[in-house]
Amino acid sequence: MLNLPDFQHEILSQATPILSKRHAYTRVDQTRPDWNQAKVNAMRYVLRAKFGNTQGELLDLLRGTRDAPIVEISHRDQFWGARPIGDRIEGQNVLGRLLMELRLDLCEHRSGDPVLIEPRFPDPQLCGRVLGAEEVMPEATPSLLI
């Protein structure tokens, strides 16, 4: 939600992720106009921040998938996920693909080294703050489990 910092704060203040999602959909008509072009790189940035900021259980879980395919099973969202049909899946599975890309990158990353988190989409803002490239030092335990 570009240029809606107060509304972004409202989304982030919800008690659970599903409530945040539902609240965000109340103003979907105000989504940034270039969202379809920016959303994949925005998700890449969010996943890198989420997983790159921890050396705990969450990252261990991702690394533990080794080279197995990761699929976001969804019967409603064929862009981020895919639905099983017999012995195959149908959909783009963009979230699963981004997680596999991140797994490859973070598995090559040396434990304890800083992780570069860099937005690669135009006008990256959150709650009125411009997001820039930064190196984060991974924590020993996960900072956020969703």
Domain boundaries, the chain: 1-31, 37-136
Residue 59 is given by DSSP the state H
pLDDT at residue 141 in the model = 40
The per-residue pLDDT string of the chain (146 residues; one tens digit each, 9 = 90 and over) reads 457 999 999 999 999 999 999 999 999 999 999 999 999 999 999 998 888 776 567 878 888 999 999 999 999 999 999 999 999 999 999 999 999 999 998 877 777 778 888 999 999 999 999 999 988 776 644 443 33
Give the pTM: 0.85
pLDDT at residue 63 in the model = 86
Q: In the block, which residue shows the tokens 């639905």? A: 83
pLDDT at residue 45 in the model = 94
pLDDT at residue 143 in the model = 40
Question: Apex CA 44: angle with CA 84 and CA 129, to 5°?
Answer: 135
Q: In the block, which residue shows the tokens 């072009």? A: 37
Calpha distance 25→104 (Å, rounded): 32
Question: Apex CA 72: angle with CA 97 and CA 144, to 5°?
Answer: 90
pLDDT at residue 145 in the model = 35
